[in-house]
Protein backbone atom coordinates (compact mmCIF):
# COMPACT_ATOMS: atom_id res chain seq x y z
CA UNK A 1 0.00 0.00 0.00
CA UNK A 2 1.40 3.39 -0.94
CA UNK A 3 1.96 6.05 1.69
CA UNK A 4 -0.73 8.65 2.24
CA UNK A 5 -0.02 12.29 1.45
CA UNK A 6 -0.40 15.48 3.45
CA UNK A 7 -2.33 18.54 2.35
CA UNK A 8 -1.80 21.72 4.36
CA UNK A 9 -3.38 25.14 4.01
CA UNK A 10 -3.41 28.58 5.59
CA UNK A 11 -6.51 30.63 6.13
CA UNK A 12 -7.66 33.92 7.65
CA UNK A 13 -5.50 36.98 8.34
CA UNK A 14 -1.71 36.82 8.17
CA UNK A 15 0.50 36.68 11.24
CA UNK A 16 4.24 36.81 11.81
CA UNK A 17 4.38 33.08 12.57
CA UNK A 18 1.75 31.30 10.45
CA UNK A 19 4.64 30.24 8.22
CA UNK A 20 6.53 28.87 11.21
CA UNK A 21 3.61 26.47 11.73
CA UNK A 22 3.70 25.56 8.04
CA UNK A 23 7.42 24.94 8.42
CA UNK A 24 6.67 22.68 11.39
CA UNK A 25 4.22 20.59 9.34
CA UNK A 26 6.68 20.25 6.47
CA UNK A 27 9.69 19.41 8.64
CA UNK A 28 7.77 16.88 10.69
CA UNK A 29 6.24 15.43 7.53
CA UNK A 30 9.65 15.07 5.90
CA UNK A 31 11.04 13.38 8.99
CA UNK A 32 8.31 10.71 8.88
CA UNK A 33 9.34 9.18 5.58
CA UNK A 34 8.10 5.78 6.69
CA UNK A 35 4.56 7.12 7.22
CA UNK A 36 4.06 9.99 4.83
CA UNK A 37 4.31 10.38 1.07
CA UNK A 38 4.12 13.84 -0.39
CA UNK A 39 3.44 17.14 1.35
CA UNK A 40 1.09 19.30 -0.69
CA UNK A 41 0.22 22.89 0.06
CA UNK A 42 -3.10 24.39 -1.02
CA UNK A 43 -2.75 27.79 -2.56
CA UNK A 44 -5.27 30.27 -1.12
CA UNK A 45 -6.69 27.74 1.29
CA UNK A 46 -9.67 25.53 0.52
CA UNK A 47 -10.90 28.13 -1.97
CA UNK A 48 -7.83 27.77 -4.21
CA UNK A 49 -7.72 24.03 -3.59
CA UNK A 50 -11.28 23.66 -4.92
CA UNK A 51 -10.06 25.43 -8.06
CA UNK A 52 -7.23 22.92 -8.40
CA UNK A 53 -4.36 25.01 -7.13
CA UNK A 54 -1.80 23.37 -4.91
CA UNK A 55 1.94 22.76 -4.90
CA UNK A 56 4.38 20.06 -3.83
CA UNK A 57 6.09 21.62 -0.83
CA UNK A 58 8.60 18.84 -0.25
CA UNK A 59 9.78 19.33 -3.81
CA UNK A 60 9.80 23.11 -3.79
CA UNK A 61 11.46 23.86 -0.47
CA UNK A 62 14.96 22.78 0.51
CA UNK A 63 16.38 23.19 4.00
CA UNK A 64 17.61 26.72 3.28
CA UNK A 65 14.16 27.75 2.07
CA UNK A 66 12.53 26.14 5.12
CA UNK A 67 14.81 28.11 7.42
CA UNK A 68 13.72 31.31 5.67
CA UNK A 69 10.05 30.26 5.57
CA UNK A 70 10.14 29.86 9.35
CA UNK A 71 10.79 33.57 9.88
CA UNK A 72 8.80 34.99 6.95
CA UNK A 73 5.56 36.76 7.94
CA UNK A 74 2.19 36.75 6.12
CA UNK A 75 0.98 33.48 4.54
CA UNK A 76 3.40 31.74 2.19
CA UNK A 77 0.66 29.62 0.61
CA UNK A 78 -1.76 32.50 0.32
CA UNK A 79 -4.93 32.62 2.34
CA UNK A 80 -8.69 32.84 1.93
CA UNK A 81 -11.77 33.84 3.86
CA UNK A 82 -13.96 31.07 2.53
CA UNK A 83 -16.70 29.62 4.71
CA UNK A 84 -17.80 26.08 3.92
CA UNK A 85 -21.58 25.71 3.65
CA UNK A 86 -23.53 24.82 6.78
CA UNK A 87 -25.59 22.56 4.56
CA UNK A 88 -23.73 19.24 4.61
CA UNK A 89 -25.54 18.11 1.50
CA UNK A 90 -23.79 20.84 -0.51
CA UNK A 91 -21.99 19.55 -3.60
CA UNK A 92 -18.77 21.17 -2.32
CA UNK A 93 -18.13 18.33 0.13
CA UNK A 94 -18.14 15.37 -2.26
CA UNK A 95 -16.19 17.49 -4.76
CA UNK A 96 -13.51 18.23 -2.19
CA UNK A 97 -13.31 14.65 -0.95
CA UNK A 98 -13.02 13.41 -4.54
CA UNK A 99 -9.99 15.64 -4.91
CA UNK A 100 -8.56 14.30 -1.66
CA UNK A 101 -8.96 10.77 -2.96
CA UNK A 102 -7.46 11.61 -6.34
CA UNK A 103 -4.39 13.04 -4.56
CA UNK A 104 -4.27 10.16 -2.09
CA UNK A 105 -4.56 12.51 0.88
CA UNK A 106 -4.42 10.92 4.32
CA UNK A 107 -3.84 14.01 6.46
CA UNK A 108 -5.38 17.46 6.25
CA UNK A 109 -3.89 20.37 8.20
CA UNK A 110 -5.39 23.84 8.34
CA UNK A 111 -3.60 26.72 10.03
CA UNK A 112 -5.92 29.52 11.08
CA UNK A 113 -8.27 31.10 13.59
CA UNK A 114 -11.88 30.64 14.52
CA UNK A 115 -13.24 30.47 11.01
CA UNK A 116 -10.55 28.04 9.91
CA UNK A 117 -11.37 25.74 12.81
CA UNK A 118 -14.95 25.87 11.51
CA UNK A 119 -13.60 24.47 8.24
CA UNK A 120 -11.72 21.69 10.05
CA UNK A 121 -14.84 20.90 12.07
CA UNK A 122 -17.07 20.66 9.01
CA UNK A 123 -14.66 18.59 6.94
CA UNK A 124 -14.02 16.16 9.77
CA UNK A 125 -17.73 15.76 10.44
CA UNK A 126 -18.50 15.24 6.78
CA UNK A 127 -15.59 12.82 6.45
CA UNK A 128 -16.76 10.76 9.39
CA UNK A 129 -20.24 10.47 7.95
CA UNK A 130 -18.89 9.65 4.50
CA UNK A 131 -16.61 6.95 5.93
CA UNK A 132 -13.41 8.76 4.92
CA UNK A 133 -10.23 7.80 6.77
CA UNK A 134 -8.60 11.19 6.26
CA UNK A 135 -7.52 12.87 9.51
CA UNK A 136 -8.34 16.53 9.94
CA UNK A 137 -6.26 18.63 12.32
CA UNK A 138 -6.41 22.35 13.02
CA UNK A 139 -3.34 24.40 13.93
CA UNK A 140 -4.27 27.57 15.80
CA UNK A 141 -3.21 30.99 14.59
CA UNK A 142 -4.47 34.45 15.38
CA UNK A 143 -2.99 37.69 16.63
CA UNK A 144 -6.29 38.21 18.50
CA UNK A 145 -5.56 35.37 20.94
CA UNK A 146 -9.29 34.69 21.13
CA UNK A 147 -9.36 30.90 20.63
CA UNK A 148 -10.79 28.91 23.53
CA UNK A 149 -9.35 25.72 25.09
CA UNK A 150 -5.78 26.88 24.57
CA UNK A 151 -3.65 28.98 26.93
CA UNK A 152 -2.75 31.27 24.02
CA UNK A 153 -2.47 31.22 20.26
CA UNK A 154 0.54 31.32 17.92
CA UNK A 155 0.76 34.78 16.36
CA UNK A 156 -0.33 36.58 19.50
CA UNK A 157 3.10 36.77 21.14
CA UNK A 158 4.70 38.40 18.11
CA UNK A 159 1.85 40.86 17.66
CA UNK A 160 1.95 41.71 21.36
CA UNK A 161 5.71 42.24 21.15
CA UNK A 162 5.21 44.55 18.16
CA UNK A 163 2.50 46.54 19.95
CA UNK A 164 4.47 46.84 23.20
CA UNK A 165 7.59 47.93 21.35
CA UNK A 166 5.78 50.37 19.05
CA UNK A 167 3.86 51.87 21.99
CA UNK A 168 7.09 52.40 23.95
CA UNK A 169 8.58 54.19 20.94
CA UNK A 170 5.47 56.31 20.39
CA UNK A 171 5.46 57.20 24.09
CA UNK A 172 9.04 58.45 23.70
CA UNK A 173 8.16 60.25 20.48
CA UNK A 174 5.12 61.97 21.95
CA UNK A 175 7.03 63.14 25.02
CA UNK A 176 9.57 65.33 23.25
CA UNK A 177 7.58 68.57 23.09
CA UNK A 178 6.84 70.90 25.92
CA UNK A 179 3.22 71.52 25.03
CA UNK A 180 0.32 69.42 26.32
CA UNK A 181 -0.68 66.66 23.97
CA UNK A 182 -2.81 63.58 23.66
CA UNK A 183 -1.75 60.65 21.48
CA UNK A 184 -4.30 57.98 20.67
CA UNK A 185 -3.01 54.61 19.52
CA UNK A 186 -5.54 52.31 17.86
CA UNK A 187 -4.74 48.61 18.21
CA UNK A 188 -6.30 45.68 16.34
CA UNK A 189 -8.99 43.69 18.13
CA UNK A 190 -12.62 43.48 17.10
CA UNK A 191 -14.15 41.85 20.14
CA UNK A 192 -11.27 41.07 22.45
CA UNK A 193 -8.60 43.27 23.99
CA UNK A 194 -5.71 40.79 24.37
CA UNK A 195 -3.57 42.73 21.92
CA UNK A 196 -4.48 46.22 23.12
CA UNK A 197 -3.72 45.15 26.67
CA UNK A 198 -0.14 44.38 25.62
CA UNK A 199 0.41 48.14 25.40
CA UNK A 200 0.79 48.15 29.21
CA UNK A 201 4.00 46.13 28.72
CA UNK A 202 5.47 49.29 27.21
CA UNK A 203 5.53 51.00 30.61
CA UNK A 204 9.01 51.46 31.98
CA UNK A 205 8.08 52.70 35.44
CA UNK A 206 4.95 52.99 37.56
CA UNK A 207 2.82 55.78 36.18
CA UNK A 208 4.52 55.71 32.77
CA UNK A 209 2.45 56.05 29.61
CA UNK A 210 0.19 54.70 28.19
CA UNK A 211 -1.91 56.44 30.81
CA UNK A 212 -5.20 54.97 29.61
CA UNK A 213 -6.03 51.62 28.02
CA UNK A 214 -9.52 50.68 26.82
CA UNK A 215 -10.57 47.17 25.77
CA UNK A 216 -13.76 46.04 24.03
CA UNK A 217 -14.56 43.81 27.01
CA UNK A 218 -15.63 46.90 28.99
CA UNK A 219 -18.34 49.30 27.75
CA UNK A 220 -16.79 52.59 26.65
CA UNK A 221 -18.40 55.90 27.47
CA UNK A 222 -17.42 59.28 26.12
CA UNK A 223 -18.22 60.84 29.48
CA UNK A 224 -15.84 58.49 31.25
CA UNK A 225 -13.20 59.07 28.56
CA UNK A 226 -13.59 62.82 28.95
CA UNK A 227 -13.07 62.57 32.72
CA UNK A 228 -10.08 60.26 32.30
CA UNK A 229 -8.35 62.52 29.77
CA UNK A 230 -9.05 65.64 31.82
CA UNK A 231 -7.51 64.07 34.91
CA UNK A 232 -4.45 62.80 33.02
CA UNK A 233 -3.91 66.15 31.28
CA UNK A 234 -3.77 67.79 34.72
CA UNK A 235 -1.05 65.32 35.75
CA UNK A 236 1.29 65.17 32.78
CA UNK A 237 2.32 66.94 29.58
CA UNK A 238 1.88 63.98 27.27
CA UNK A 239 -1.06 61.63 27.60
CA UNK A 240 -0.92 58.41 25.58
CA UNK A 241 -4.14 56.44 25.19
CA UNK A 242 -4.39 52.93 23.73
CA UNK A 243 -7.73 51.68 22.41
CA UNK A 244 -8.96 48.54 20.71
CA UNK A 245 -10.45 49.19 17.29
CA UNK A 246 -13.59 47.44 18.52
CA UNK A 247 -14.50 49.48 21.61
CA UNK A 248 -18.23 50.14 21.85
CA UNK A 249 -20.70 51.87 24.14
CA UNK A 250 -23.09 50.12 26.51
CA UNK A 251 -25.76 50.07 23.81
CA UNK A 252 -23.33 47.99 21.75
CA UNK A 253 -22.65 50.72 19.22
CA UNK A 254 -19.04 50.85 17.98
CA UNK A 255 -17.27 54.13 18.77
CA UNK A 256 -15.84 54.11 15.25
CA UNK A 257 -19.40 54.48 14.00
CA UNK A 258 -19.89 57.73 15.91
CA UNK A 259 -20.41 60.61 13.51
CA UNK A 260 -21.08 64.32 13.66
CA UNK A 261 -24.34 63.83 15.55
CA UNK A 262 -22.94 61.68 18.36
CA UNK A 263 -19.87 63.92 18.71
CA UNK A 264 -22.08 66.98 19.01
CA UNK A 265 -24.20 65.23 21.59
CA UNK A 266 -21.15 64.23 23.67
CA UNK A 267 -19.77 67.76 23.43
CA UNK A 268 -23.06 69.33 24.42
CA UNK A 269 -22.75 71.61 21.40
CA UNK A 270 -22.36 71.45 17.62
CA UNK A 271 -19.14 69.70 16.58
CA UNK A 272 -17.20 71.69 13.99
CA UNK A 273 -18.55 70.70 10.56
CA UNK A 274 -16.26 68.52 8.55
CA UNK A 275 -15.16 66.80 11.73
CA UNK A 276 -17.33 63.88 10.77
CA UNK A 277 -15.97 60.92 8.90
CA UNK A 278 -15.42 58.32 11.58
CA UNK A 279 -14.99 54.77 10.41
CA UNK A 280 -17.25 53.11 7.97
CA UNK A 281 -18.35 49.64 8.93
CA UNK A 282 -18.71 47.07 6.21
CA UNK A 283 -19.05 43.32 6.38
CA UNK A 284 -16.47 40.76 5.36
CA UNK A 285 -17.31 37.33 3.93
CA UNK A 286 -18.03 35.95 7.37
CA UNK A 287 -20.43 38.76 8.20
CA UNK A 288 -17.99 40.35 10.65
CA UNK A 289 -17.97 44.12 10.77
CA UNK A 290 -14.70 45.44 9.39
CA UNK A 291 -13.66 48.26 11.63
CA UNK A 292 -11.48 51.24 11.27
CA UNK A 293 -11.36 54.61 12.78
CA UNK A 294 -12.26 54.82 16.49
CA UNK A 295 -8.86 56.51 16.99
CA UNK A 296 -9.93 59.25 14.57
CA UNK A 297 -13.27 59.72 16.35
CA UNK A 298 -11.51 60.10 19.72
CA UNK A 299 -8.88 62.39 18.18
CA UNK A 300 -11.64 64.71 17.01
CA UNK A 301 -13.42 64.59 20.33
CA UNK A 302 -10.24 65.47 22.27
CA UNK A 303 -9.34 68.26 19.85
CA UNK A 304 -12.78 69.84 20.20
CA UNK A 305 -13.16 69.29 23.92
CA UNK A 306 -9.67 70.12 25.18
CA UNK A 307 -8.10 72.12 22.36
CA UNK A 308 -4.71 70.45 22.90
CA UNK A 309 -2.39 68.98 20.30
CA UNK A 310 -3.73 65.55 19.44
CA UNK A 311 -2.65 62.80 17.09
CA UNK A 312 -4.08 59.38 16.41
CA UNK A 313 -1.91 56.51 15.25
CA UNK A 314 -3.39 53.35 13.79
CA UNK A 315 -0.82 50.60 14.27
CA UNK A 316 -2.41 48.89 11.28
CA UNK A 317 -1.14 45.77 9.48
CA UNK A 318 2.34 45.96 11.00
CA UNK A 319 0.76 44.25 14.00
CA UNK A 320 0.19 41.09 12.03
CA UNK A 321 2.96 41.16 9.42
CA UNK A 322 6.04 42.57 11.11
CA UNK A 323 8.68 39.86 11.03
CA UNK A 324 11.47 41.99 12.45
CA UNK A 325 9.78 42.08 15.84
CA UNK A 326 8.56 38.48 15.92
CA UNK A 327 8.89 36.86 19.32
CA UNK A 328 11.29 33.93 19.30
CA UNK A 329 9.08 32.14 21.83
CA UNK A 330 6.14 32.58 19.46
CA UNK A 331 8.07 31.36 16.40
CA UNK A 332 9.25 28.25 18.27
CA UNK A 333 5.81 27.45 19.66
CA UNK A 334 4.16 27.97 16.27
CA UNK A 335 6.62 25.60 14.62
CA UNK A 336 6.12 23.00 17.34
CA UNK A 337 2.34 23.33 16.96
CA UNK A 338 2.80 22.33 13.31
CA UNK A 339 4.98 19.39 14.28
CA UNK A 340 2.53 18.32 16.98
CA UNK A 341 -0.31 18.40 14.44
CA UNK A 342 1.50 15.86 12.26
CA UNK A 343 2.23 13.66 15.29
CA UNK A 344 -1.39 13.73 16.43
CA UNK A 345 -2.65 12.87 12.95
CA UNK A 346 -0.24 9.96 12.72
CA UNK A 347 -1.46 8.77 16.12
CA UNK A 348 -4.95 8.63 14.64
CA UNK A 349 -6.45 11.86 15.95
CA UNK A 350 -8.94 13.72 13.77
CA UNK A 351 -11.38 16.55 14.33
CA UNK A 352 -8.98 18.14 16.77
CA UNK A 353 -7.01 21.34 17.18
CA UNK A 354 -3.52 21.51 18.68
CA UNK A 355 -3.76 23.42 21.96
CA UNK A 356 -1.30 24.89 24.46
CA UNK A 357 -1.20 24.14 28.17
CA UNK A 358 0.95 26.43 30.29
CA UNK A 359 3.07 24.78 32.96
CA UNK A 360 4.61 27.27 35.34
CA UNK A 361 5.06 30.94 34.69
CA UNK A 362 7.65 33.72 34.65
CA UNK A 363 11.15 32.24 34.54
CA UNK A 364 9.61 28.79 34.95
CA UNK A 365 7.32 29.18 31.96
CA UNK A 366 6.95 25.94 30.02
CA UNK A 367 4.50 24.75 27.43
CA UNK A 368 2.85 21.44 26.81
CA UNK A 369 0.86 20.52 23.73
CA UNK A 370 -2.48 18.78 23.67
CA UNK A 371 -5.30 17.91 21.29
CA UNK A 372 -8.73 19.44 21.87
CA UNK A 373 -12.05 18.85 20.13
CA UNK A 374 -12.14 21.30 17.23
CA UNK A 375 -15.95 21.43 17.38
CA UNK A 376 -15.68 23.03 20.78
CA UNK A 377 -13.25 25.64 19.54
CA UNK A 378 -14.78 27.00 16.37
CA UNK A 379 -17.14 29.94 16.59
CA UNK A 380 -16.26 30.52 20.26
CA UNK A 381 -14.39 33.57 21.56
CA UNK A 382 -12.08 33.88 24.55
CA UNK A 383 -12.19 37.31 26.15
CA UNK A 384 -9.83 39.05 28.56
CA UNK A 385 -11.16 38.15 32.04
CA UNK A 386 -13.25 41.00 33.40
CA UNK A 387 -11.40 40.67 36.71
CA UNK A 388 -8.18 41.72 34.93
CA UNK A 389 -9.71 45.03 33.86
CA UNK A 390 -9.36 47.78 36.43
CA UNK A 391 -12.36 49.59 37.85
CA UNK A 392 -13.39 52.33 35.48
CA UNK A 393 -12.34 50.21 32.51
CA UNK A 394 -9.35 52.37 31.67
CA UNK A 395 -6.46 50.04 32.50
CA UNK A 396 -5.56 46.39 33.09
CA UNK A 397 -4.05 44.81 36.18
CA UNK A 398 -0.82 42.95 36.93
CA UNK A 399 -2.35 39.60 35.95
CA UNK A 400 -2.06 40.56 32.32
CA UNK A 401 1.70 41.15 32.38
CA UNK A 402 2.21 37.88 34.19
CA UNK A 403 0.24 36.15 31.46
CA UNK A 404 1.77 37.91 28.45
CA UNK A 405 5.43 38.51 29.31
CA UNK A 406 6.66 34.96 28.73
CA UNK A 407 5.08 35.04 25.26
CA UNK A 408 6.95 38.05 23.89
CA UNK A 409 10.46 36.96 24.84
CA UNK A 410 13.36 36.56 22.50
CA UNK A 411 14.33 38.11 19.18
CA UNK A 412 14.51 36.27 15.88
CA UNK A 413 17.66 36.52 13.82
CA UNK A 414 16.49 37.47 10.32
CA UNK A 415 18.73 37.09 7.27
CA UNK A 416 19.05 40.53 5.69
CA UNK A 417 19.64 41.55 2.09
CA UNK A 418 20.66 45.14 1.43
CA UNK A 419 19.67 46.14 4.93
CA UNK A 420 16.13 44.73 4.93
CA UNK A 421 14.71 41.29 5.73
CA UNK A 422 15.19 38.75 2.99
CA UNK A 423 12.03 36.63 3.49
CA UNK A 424 10.84 33.77 1.30
CA UNK A 425 8.59 34.54 -1.67
CA UNK A 426 6.47 31.86 -3.29
CA UNK A 427 6.97 31.27 -7.00
CA UNK A 428 3.75 32.11 -8.73
CA UNK A 429 2.98 29.01 -10.73
CA UNK A 430 -0.64 29.64 -11.62
CA UNK A 431 -1.80 32.49 -13.85
CA UNK A 432 -4.55 33.31 -11.33
CA UNK A 433 -1.84 33.68 -8.75
CA UNK A 434 0.08 36.63 -10.21
Angstrom distance (rounded) from CA 281 to CA 257? 7
Distance in angstroms (rounded) separating the CA atoms of residues 345 and 363 = 32
CB of 169 to its own copies, least distance (A): 5
Burial class of residue 23 in the structure, from the number of CB atoms within 10 Å of its CB (0-12 exposed, 13-18 middle, 19+ buried): buried
Count the Cβ atoms, other than its own, within 10 Å of residue 430.
14
Residues 6+ apart with CB under 8 A from 328: 409, 410, 411, 412
**Of 30, 18, 23, nearest to 5 (Cα)?**
30
Please choose, from the candidates 134, 49, 57, the residue with its C-alpha nearest in 3D space to the C-alpha of residue 96: 49
Candidate ranges 128-136, 245-253, 312-320, 388-396; the one touching its own copies (CB under 8 A): 312-320
Min dist CB 267 to its own copies, Å, is: 17
CA distance 35 to 158: 33
Our CB check for its own copies shows the closer of 240 and 342 to be 240
Distance CA 142, CA 176 (A): 35
Interface with its own copies, residue 170, by CB under 8 A: yes
Q: Among 29, 37, 58, 78, which residue interacts with its own copies (rule: CB under 8 A)?
A: 78
CB of 76 or CB of 214, closer to its own copies: 76
286 binds its own copies (CB under 8 A): no
If one asks whether residue 235 binds its own copies (CB under 8 A), the answer comes out as: yes
Q: Using CA atoms, how far apart are residues 141 and 44, in angstroms rounded to an integer?
A: 16
Omega within 30 of 0 (cis) for the link into 210: yes
Q: Is 297 in the site for its own copies (CB under 8 A)?
A: no
- Which one of the spans 62-70, 92-100, 148-156, 176-184 is the region binding its own copies (CB under 8 A)? 176-184
Taking the complex as a whole, the smallest distance from the CB of residue 344 to its own copies amounts, in Å, to 26
318 is a site residue for its own copies (CB under 8 A)? yes
Binding mask 116-155 for its own copies (x = CB under 8 A): ----------------------------------------
DSSP 146-163: --TTSS--TTHHHHHHHH
Element (H, E) at 223: helix 222-235
Kindly list the strands in the beta sheet with 309-314, ordered across the sheet, starting from the edge strand earlier in the chain.
Answer: 212-214, 238-244, 181-187, 309-314
Which position among 50, 103, 151, 175 is part of the footprint of its own copies (CB under 8 A)?
Answer: 175
Q: For the window 214-233, what string marks contact with its own copies as x by the rule CB under 8 A?
A: --------------------
- Name the segment binding its own copies (CB under 8 A); options: 31-39, 41-49, 129-137, 346-354: 41-49
Answer for which of 61, 68, 74, 298 binds its own copies (CB under 8 A) is 74
The least distance separating its own copies from the CB of residue 389, rounded to whole angstroms, comes to 21
Rounded to the nearest 10°, the torsion over CA 356, 359, 364, 365 is: 10
Q: Does residue 188 interact with its own copies by CB under 8 A? A: no
Closest contact distance (angstroms) between CB of 46 and its own copies is 11
d(CA 257, CA 266): 14
Q: Which residues are catalytic?
A: 144
# residues contacting its own copies (CB under 8 A): 66
Options 21, 132, 181, 327; binder of its own copies; rule CB under 8 A: 327
Using rule CB under 8 A, residue 178 touches its own copies: yes
Distance CA(334)–CA(69), nearest Å, equals 12
130, 177, 227, 390: which one binds its own copies (CB under 8 A) = 177
Q: Interface residues with its own copies (CB under 8 A)?
A: 10, 14, 44, 47-48, 72-75, 78-81, 161, 164-166, 168-170, 172-178, 201-202, 204-205, 235-237, 274, 276-277, 280, 311, 313-314, 316-318, 320-325, 327, 405, 408-411, 416, 418-421, 423, 425, 432-434
Amino acid sequence: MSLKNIIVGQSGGPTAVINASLCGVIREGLSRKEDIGKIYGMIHGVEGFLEGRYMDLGEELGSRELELLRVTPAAYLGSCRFKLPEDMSSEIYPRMFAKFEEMDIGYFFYIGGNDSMDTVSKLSRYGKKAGSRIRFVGIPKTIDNDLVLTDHTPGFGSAARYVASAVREIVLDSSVYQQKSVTIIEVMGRHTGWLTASSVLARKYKGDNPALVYLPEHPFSMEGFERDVERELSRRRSVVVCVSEGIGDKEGRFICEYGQRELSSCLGREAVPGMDGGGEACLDNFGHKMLTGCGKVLERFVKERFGVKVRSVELNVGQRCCGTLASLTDVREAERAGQAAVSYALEGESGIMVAFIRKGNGDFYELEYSAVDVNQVCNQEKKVPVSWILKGGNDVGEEYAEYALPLIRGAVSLPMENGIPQYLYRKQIFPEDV
